[in-house]
Amino acid sequence: MRDLLLLGIETTCDETAAAVVRRRADGSGTILSNIVLSQTADHAPYGGVVPEIASRAHVEVLDRVIERALRSSGVKLVEMDAIAAAAGPGLIGGVIVGLTTAKAIALAARKPLVAVNHLEAHALTARLTDAVPFPFLLLLVSGGHTQLVAVTGVGEYHKLGGTMDDAIGEAFDKTAKMLGLPYPGGPAVERAALRGDASRFALPRPLHGKPVPDFSLSGLKTAVRLEALRIAPLTDQDVNDLCASFQGAIVDILADRVRCALRVMRERGMKPSALVLAGGVGANQAVRRVLHKVAADGGTRLAVPPPELCTDNGAMIAWAGAERFALGLTDDLAVSPRARWPLEEVTGVEMAD
C-alpha cells in the first residue's frame, strides 16, 4: 500500500468545509489543510439552523473553500488519489450541494469518488489523531446524534445504545434557548455553568442504572423548564445555577451510560482499545474530564480529537474517505445523497464484495 492523498468535502449542516489529508502506507495520517467556514452568524437570529439558508450559503462559498483547501495544502488537484464527500446523513439541501460538487470534480479530474457517511467520519477521526486500533467504543454526541457504538473495523459498526428522544447536543441547545442564552447553545451553557452551583437544583438522571446503554433527555429538559418557571423571573445567577445543574446531570448520565456500554461490549467478547469521544459535545471540558475517569476505571483510555475536529470539518471526511479507499471501497457517480443514513447501515469490504 502506498501513501494516499484525498480531498474531503463536508456540507451536511451549517459548516462549509474542505480539507486535504494524507494517509500513509502504515495507516497514519496528516492533515495538510482544513478550511471551515461557519454559518453561525447567519443562523443566530433564528436560534437554530435554517435548512434553506444553510444550503444557499453552501452554494455561494463551497468553490472558494475548496480552492483555499487545495492552495493551503500545497497539493494540486491532479495529485489527489480520490475525492471524498459527505453523502449523508444531514440536511438534504446541503448534502446535495457537497456531493454534487464532489461528483463534478471527480468527473472532470478523472478521480474516484468516495461517498462518506458523516457519522462514520466522526467515528474514524480518532484513528487519524490518536492512531486508535480496532475495536473501540464510540460515544457519538452531537446536536443530532447520541449513540454508543462498538467499532470493529471500517464499515463495521454495532450499535449498543442510543437516545430514545432528544440528542444531547439538542438538549443543550434547547436548554440555552429556554434560558435566554445565545446561539450556539452548547458553548453558552458550558460558560454559564462555570459560574453556577451544580447542587442547587435536584434534576433527574433518566435511565440511570438500566442494563441497556440507552439515553433519554426529554425528561431532564422538562425538569429544567419547570424549575425555571418555578423561580421566575430569573436572575443571571439563577441561569448560571440551572446551567450548572443541567450540565452536571448530563455528565452523570454520560458516565453511567458509558460504563454500561463498556460492560456490554466486554460481555459480547470485545475488548475495547479505547473509548472514543466524537461529535460537537466532545468539545465540552466537563464531559471530557468525567469520561477520562470512566475510561481509566474501565481499564482503557479516552481518545478524543481536538475541539476543531470534534465539530464538523472536511478533514474527517477526507480521512474516512482515505480509510475506505485504502480498502478498495469507492462509489460510482450515481450514488445518492441521503438525509437519513444510520451508521449501522454503512458497509465495509466483506459486505461490499
Q: Is it the case that residue 314 has pLDDT exceeding 80?
A: yes
pLDDT band at 80 (very low <50, low <70, confident <90, very high): very high
CATH of domain 4-127+309-352: 3.30.420.40
Instruction: Confirm or deny that 122 is annotated as ligand binding.
Output: yes
Cβ 296 vs Cβ 323: under 8 Å:
no
Which of helix, strand or coil describes residue 182? coil
Question: Regarding the domain delimited by 134-304, which CATH topology (the fold level of the hierarchy) does it fall under?
Answer: Nucleotidyltransferase; domain 5 (3.30.420)
Given a cut of 80, whether residue 51 has pLDDT beyond it is: no
Residue 143 assigned ligand-binding role: yes
Residue of 173, 112, 167, 176 lying closest to 142 (CA atoms): 167
What are the residue boundaries of the structural domains of the chain, listed by start?
Answer: 4-127+309-352, 134-304
Residue 41 has pLDDT above 80, yes or no: no
Res 353: pLDDT: 46
Does the annotation place 240 within a ligand binding site?
no
When computed from its CA atoms, the radius of gyration of the chain, rounded to whole angstroms, is 20
118 is in an annotated binding site: yes
52 pLDDT more than 80:
no
- Could you tell me the strand order of the sheet in which 146-153 lies? 156-162, 146-153, 136-141, 275-278, 302-303
Q: Is it the case that residue 144 has pLDDT exceeding 90?
A: no
Domain 4-127+309-352 shares a fold with domain 134-304:
yes
d(CA 196, CA 243): 7
Show the cell assigned to 145: 446524534
Residues in the chain, overall count = 353
**Joined grid coordinates for residue 134:** 480496532
91 is in an annotated binding site: no
Region of residue 131 (phi > 0: left; psi between -120 and 50: alpha; otherwise: beta)? left
Cβ atoms of residues 15 and 42 within 8 Å: no
* Mean of pLDDT over the chain: 94
Q: Of all residues in the chain, what percent are helix, strand and coil, respectively (each to 5)?
A: 50, 20, 35
In angstroms, the CA 79 to CA 21 distance is: 12
Q: Between these two residues, 165 and 348, which has the higher pLDDT value?
A: 165
Residue 180 marked in a binding site = no
Question: Helix (H, G, I), strand (E, B), or coil: what is residue 5?
Answer: strand
Q: Determine whether the annotation assigns residue 292 to a binding site.
A: no
Check pLDDT > 80 for residue 42: no
Conformational region of residue 112, where left means phi above 0, alpha means psi within -120 to 50, and beta covers everything else: beta
Alpha carbon distance 129, 28 (integer Å): 9
34 annotated to a ligand binding site:
no
- H or E segment to which residue 4 belongs: strand 4-10
Strand order in the sheet with 113-117: 29-38, 15-23, 4-10, 82-88, 113-117
Res. 40 pLDDT band, cuts 50 70 90: low
Q: Is 81 known as a binding-site position?
A: no
Query: Is 208 a known ligand-binding residue?
Result: no
Question: Which band of pLDDT confidence, cut at 50, 70 and 90, is reported for residue 46?
Answer: low
Of the pLDDT bands very low, low, confident and very high (cuts 50, 70, 90), residue 7 is: very high
Q: Is pLDDT of 250 > 80?
A: yes
Q: Report how far residue 353's alpha carbon sits from residue 347's, in angstroms, rounded to the nearest whole number.
A: 10
304 among annotated binding-site residues: no
Q: Which of 109, 114, 80 is closest to 332 using CA atoms?
A: 114
pTM: 0.92
Determine whether the annotation assigns residue 186 to a binding site: yes
Query: Would you state the pLDDT for residue 88?
Result: 96
d(CA 7, CA 33): 9
